[in-house]
């Protein structure tokens, strides 16, 4: 199924939370750390507990690459646990010249079979073309990220009166002829989001920065809804998957996801 | 040994070419394609033939990731063939929020033991900090890349009168307290390079875009030398490693590297 359509079906049932699988061997419950395939085992339990309540799963490549071959195996196994109707996002933030970008696109879409990927737009149109050529996939471009240093470059004011991150959003619309583009916009940048909603329009938005990073989910959800858009996907990683360090970690993750879902539900019903 | 010092020793002997191992199963000689570990076998032969004449080897992660587990194995094997006195560059163009960037830094430096890495600066200071914390490594930040679409964002003129890519170079100087930072500046942007040399100063510069992409090596080398800098490292990938598609591919790669080296020698001696 087309990836954006898959995500919209979740939005239609009120699900707007992406569970971020930033799975770190140092942070998973101690009783699991020494088991074989600890990362995959942890993810399996988390996915089993949350799969009916999650709009998407985002796999943060760094955490798997750090473990070398073992990590890549865990990544592949993890993908096999995710039901076909839930969007999978390769959070890889790739970006390179055309022939190299093509290899990265092949890696995430043809090799791993992800539905979606995060891409860094810094190198411009020809660097992102190989990704958007995959018409049925969904590509989230970094516009304004959730970290404090997003001010260094992304918030630079341009001579033409715009900001760099807005220039990215304009370009994303140009790139969106196949209706397979979205953006990343950090929840920590509330006022910028408020200013940008008329530019973002109907693009799907992956929103990191909730929870550990300080973004407020209700406020940000209200912003989207008041602008008439329901294509927002909040990512929560540490706030869900590490809710408990004990045997009940998966159960607690599910409970926390339910808390987030009900917060969204409250906003949607008001 | 400190990575920048390692590179300077090569510069001191007149070596300024980095051999880019953009090794693609579809492009290596046909007689090798079906062998076990084809990528690693190809790289081994290339490295054996060129190791005394190369200033560095750059491993383009995309080409290995595309092959999944097999590719990661090939990457690890390839590293083991490179002599300890030749700089190894992880061309990964990573960039993410702090805790994720830390995982990427661990992956390239602690797991694979690379000397150096390419990093995408779009997310700003906190996203690059985990890389520069490795004092003995060398981090090349994307300033102005060699692809035509570098105009989309990198060449945007800022309200403060500068360009985005120059703003990156200014920041790299701020980040360079451990003398472990460099930049990537594409050879296809000759006039911008000419304008920027007084800003780049003594930063080491990785220069892609020679050969297949159209940059002219003598002209660009002269620019550096006339500005008093000898810290330039030209990357050549396809132009060297695919010089021949036959049994003599490694020998032909060596000959082509010698041609590049003598071009540099001519410029240096004039």
Is the CB of residue A218 less than 8 Å from the CB of residue A1? Answer: no
**B254 CB contacts (<8 Å, ≥6 apart)?**
B49, B50, B53
Model confidence band, residue B9 (pLDDT cutoffs 50, 70, 90): very high
On the question of pLDDT at B214 being above 80, the answer is no
Domain count within chain B = 1
Whether A157 is catalytic is no
Mean pLDDT of B5-22: 98
The pLDDT confidence band at residue B215, using thresholds 50, 70 and 90, is confident
User: Quick one: DSSP state of residue B85?
Assistant: T
**In chain A, what residues touch B97 (CB-CB under 8 Å)?**
145-147, 208, 213
pLDDT at B211 over 80: no
Residue reference for tokens 């018409």 = A135
The reported pLDDT for the residue numbered A215 is 79
Yes or no: say if B177 and B210 are a contact pair by the CB < 8 Å rule.
Answer: no
CA distances to A29, B28, B236 from B211, in Å: 52, 18, 7
**What rounded mean pLDDT belongs to chain A?**
96
Q: How far apart are CA B136 and CA B149, in angstroms?
A: 33
**Mean of the pLDDT values across residues A132-148?**
98
| CA gap B255, B53 in Å, rounded | 10
Q: From A212, which residue of chain B is nearest by alpha-carbon distance? A: B99
Between CA A16 and CA A135 the distance in angstroms is: 23
For chain A, how far is it from start to end, CA to CA, in angstroms?
A: 32
Contact present, A247 and A49 (Cβ < 8 Å): no
The reply to whether residue A167 touches residue B156, judged by beta carbons under 8 angstroms, is yes
> Which chain B residue shows the shortest CA-CA distance from A71?
B69
**A213, pLDDT greater than 80:** no
Residue B36 has pLDDT above 90, yes or no: no
| Nearest CB to A159; choose among B97, B111, B157 | B157
How do residues B125-162 score in pLDDT, each as one tens digit?
A: 999 999 999 999 999 999 999 999 999 999 999 999 99
- The answer to whether A152 contacts B94, with C-beta atoms less than 8 Å apart, is no
pLDDT at A36: 87
**Cβ distance of B123 and A94 shorter than 8 Å:** no
Run of H or E including A18: strand A17-21
Q: Would you name the residues of B annotated as active-site residues?
A: 93
Please give the pLDDT value at position A214: 77
Closest-CA distance, A13 to chain B, in angstroms, reads 31
The CATH number that applies at residue A183 is 3.20.20.70
**Buried b vs exposed e over B32-58: b needs ≥16 C-beta within 10 Å?**
beeeeebbbbbbbbbbebbbebbbbbb
Q: What was the pLDDT predicted at B105?
A: 98
Q: What percent of chain A has pLDDT over 90?
A: 95
Confidence of residue A249 (pLDDT cuts 50, 70, 90): very high
A66-108 pLDDT, tens digit per residue, is: 999 999 999 999 999 999 999 999 999 999 999 999 999 999 9
Question: How buried is A259 (Cβ within 10 angstroms: 0-12 exposed, 13-18 middle, 19+ buried)?
Answer: middle
**By the 8 A CB rule, do B196 and B166 touch?**
yes
Could you give the CA distance from residue B169 to residue A105 in angstroms, rounded to a whole number?
29
Q: How confident is the model at residue A142 (pLDDT cuts 50, 70, 90)?
A: very high
Say what percent of chain A tops pLDDT 70: 100
Structure tokens belonging to residue A208:
């990191």
List chain B residues with CB under 8 Å of A120: 93, 95, 120, 122
CB A97 within 8 A of CB A185: no
Instruction: List, for residues A214-233, the tens digit of each pLDDT value.
Output: 779 999 999 999 999 999 99
pLDDT class for A212, splitting at 50, 70, 90? confident
β-partners of residue B18 are: B56, B235
Mean pLDDT computed over A114-139: 98
Q: What is the ipTM of this complex?
A: 0.96
Cβ neighbors of A237 (< 8 A, separation 6 or more) are A19, A20, A21, A22, A58, A60, A211, A212
Instruction: Report the C-alpha gap between B2 and A64 in whole angstroms.
Output: 28
Could you tell me the pTM of the whole model? 0.97
Is the predicted pLDDT of residue B1 greater than 90, yes or no? no
Q: Are the CB atoms for A112 and B72 separated by under 8 Å?
A: no
pLDDT in tens, A49-73: 999 999 999 999 999 999 999 999 9
d(C-alpha A243, C-alpha A240), whole Å:
5
Q: What is the pLDDT of residues B97-106, one digit of tens each?
A: 999 999 999 9
Mean pLDDT of chain B: 96
Contact A156/B167, CB-based, under 8 Å?
Answer: yes
Within 8 A of A93 by CB-CB distance, chain B residues are 94-96, 120
Confidence of residue B47 (pLDDT cuts 50, 70, 90): very high
pLDDT in tens, A2-23: 999 999 999 999 999 999 999 9
How far is B125 from chain A, CA to nearest CA, in Å? 6
Domain that holds residue A22: 3-269
Q: E-strand spans in B53-97?
A: 56-60, 87-94
Query: Could you tell me the pLDDT band of residue B186, with boundaries at 50, 70 and 90?
Result: very high
């Amino acid at each position: 199924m087309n990836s954006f359509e898959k995500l919209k079906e979740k939005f239609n049932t009120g699900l707007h939370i992406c569970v971020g699988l930033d799975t770190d061997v140092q942070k998973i419950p101690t009783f699991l750390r020494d088991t074989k395939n600890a990362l995959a085992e942890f993810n399996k339990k988390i996915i089993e507990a949350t799969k009916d309540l999650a709009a998407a799963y985002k796999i943060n490549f760094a955490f798997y690459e750090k473990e070398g071959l073992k990590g890549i195996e865990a990544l592949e196994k993890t993908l096999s646990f995710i039901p076909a109707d839930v969007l999978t996002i390769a959070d890889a933030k790739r970006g390179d010249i055309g022939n190299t970008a093509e290899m990265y696109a092949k890696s995430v879409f043809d090799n791993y079979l992800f539905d979606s990927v995060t891409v860094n737009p810094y190198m411009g149109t020809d660097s992102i073309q190989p990704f958007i050529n995959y018409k049925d996939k969904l590509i989230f471009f970094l516009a304004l990220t959730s970290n404090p240093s997003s001010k260094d470059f992304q918030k630079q004011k341009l001579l033409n009166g715009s900001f760099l991150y807005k220039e990215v959003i304009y370009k994303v619309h140009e790139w969106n002829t196949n209706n397979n583009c979205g953006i990343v916009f950090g929840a920590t940048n509330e006022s910028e989001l408020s200013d940008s909603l008329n530019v973002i329009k109907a693009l799907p938005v992956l929103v990191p920065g909730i929870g550990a990073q300080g973004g407020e989910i209700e406020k940000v959800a209200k912003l989207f809804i008041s602008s008439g858009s329901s294509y927002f996907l909040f990512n929560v990683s540490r706030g869900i998957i590490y809710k408990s360090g004990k045997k009940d970690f998966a159960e607690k993750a599910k409970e926390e996801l339910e808390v987030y879902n009900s917060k969204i539900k409250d906003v949607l019903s008001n």
